[in-house]
Amino acid sequence: MNQTDNGASGIPTRKLGSFSVGAIGLGAMLLSREGGPDERSAIRTLHVALDAGLTLIDTADTYCTNCSDVGHNERLVAKAVHSWSGSRDEIVIATKGGHCRSADGGWHLDGRPEHLRRACEASLIALGVDVITLYQHHRPDPKVPYEDSVGALKDLQDEGKIRFVGIGNASVTQIAQAMEIVGVTSVQNEFSPSFRTSLEEIEFCATRGVAFLAWAPLGGMAGAGTLGSRHPAFEEVARRRGVSAHQICLAWELATAPTVIPIPGARKPQTILDSLRAADLKLDPEEIAFLNANGPAASPLPARSPGRNPERSAADLLSGRNVAGGSGRRTAGFRSSRASS
């Protein structure tokens, strides 16, 4: 399901429903969180990204500072896209509902069908559109039967309010359950060098042609700045290649499966421009094996969930092999056949 040819933007593309979007998207949350840029600077960052060929922007109704400003990020993204001088035909704005903000700035879940309907209708207004291209159930609510939450999105799709349905933070069991109710276009789960337990979901999606949107692909707000120091293997490959550790990280994620689309965040134009360069970066098999084998030195991998193997290699995923267990071995160094790296 990988679109290897470059799109009109010049960036390699991958399939998202019937769309071909850039292999690297943008998670817009940082533009509306505490410590984010002012509106003018945020819009400039989005315009620079769009000029560079970005075609997928991921937002959510609750990307804001508190419950009094719900929809801030959606309105910001819509303003940036509508004020951009380029063609908007290939731009996909994906949004989400079901993860709410409280008065104190905290978070809580609401997967009730009536809430998801209200949230979707509010997002239509915030984005200034008649149909949302990709609407995602943000996170399962343990208080609500999952089939009820997913069923609400199917109803919204049947009514023509959303074009494609996505789900987020879902297990393989939940993905399969959702697919019995509605056509699932995408799954958005966390995936990064520190968080590899989504490999099972990635493999499941890859074998079914479902796009996997990797959130926090660089380690999230707290981890992106220290990615190289926390993951020396990525820093080593970056030095040999003469690129940033961020680019190596995103290229490694792209190599994991042809349906993976990382959506890194950015507050500044130079950050997203660096990330977008990873779409053209092809890692050698030796580099991929080295990165797979060398987990984080300072930050241990999350505890395994029952039945998961978080260190299942990219080669196993791409070849379709089902590996029941891993050797747990780590290589001490990297040797590449690449002369310049």
> CB neighbours of 140 closer than 8 A, spacing ≥ 6?
109, 111, 146, 149, 169, 170, 174
Amino acid at 223: G
Please provide the average confidence, as pLDDT, over all residues in the chain. Answer: 87
**How many Å apart are CA 126 and CA 233, to the nearest integer?**
42
- Return the domain boundaries, the chain: 10-319
**How many Å apart are CA 73 and CA 122, to the nearest integer?**
13
Tokens (6 digits) for 216 = 């926090």
**How many Å apart are CA 139 and CA 189, to the nearest integer?**
9
Residue 63 is a catalytic residue? yes
Chain segment 178-221, per-residue pLDDT in tens: 999 999 999 999 999 999 999 999 999 999 999 999 999 999 87
**How many Å apart are CA 145 and CA 43, to the nearest integer?**
39
Give the least confident one: 155-169, 197-211, 220-234, 267-281: 220-234
DSSP state of 137: E
pLDDT of residue 77: 98
One of 11, 23, 63, 166 is an active-site residue; which one? 63
- Of 222, 228, 331, 220, the closest CA to residue 286 belongs to 331
- Of 339, 272, 312, 202, the closest CA to residue 56 belongs to 272
**How many Å apart are CA 247 and CA 68, to the nearest integer?**
36
**Hey, is 227 helix, strand or coil?**
helix
CB 90 within 8 A of CB 10: no
User: Which percentage of the chain shows pLDDT scores above 90?
Assistant: 77
Chain segment 301-321, per-residue pLDDT in tens: 333 333 333 333 333 433 333
pLDDT of residue 306: 33
**How many Å apart are CA 112 and CA 110, to the nearest integer?**
6
Per-residue confidence band for 229, with pLDDT thresholds at 50, 70 and 90: very high
Chain segment 82-140, per-residue pLDDT in tens: 999 999 999 999 999 999 988 887 889 999 999 999 999 999 999 999 999 999 999 99
**Hey, is 107 helix, strand or coil?**
strand
Helix (H) or strand (E) holding 213: strand 211-215
**How many Å apart are CA 77 and CA 54, to the nearest integer?**
13
Q: Which fold has domain 10-319?
A: TIM Barrel (3.20.20)
Per-residue confidence band for 266, with pLDDT thresholds at 50, 70 and 90: very high
pLDDT of residue 334: 42
- Of 99, 109, 97, 171, the closest CA to residue 135 belongs to 97
User: What sections of 84-143 are H helices per DSSP?
Assistant: 113-127
pLDDT of residue 105: 75
Per-residue confidence band for 41, with pLDDT thresholds at 50, 70 and 90: very high
CB 264 within 8 A of CB 217: yes
Q: How far is CA 174 from CA 160, 213, 222, 311, in A?
A: 24, 16, 28, 22
Average confidence (pLDDT) over 321-327: 30
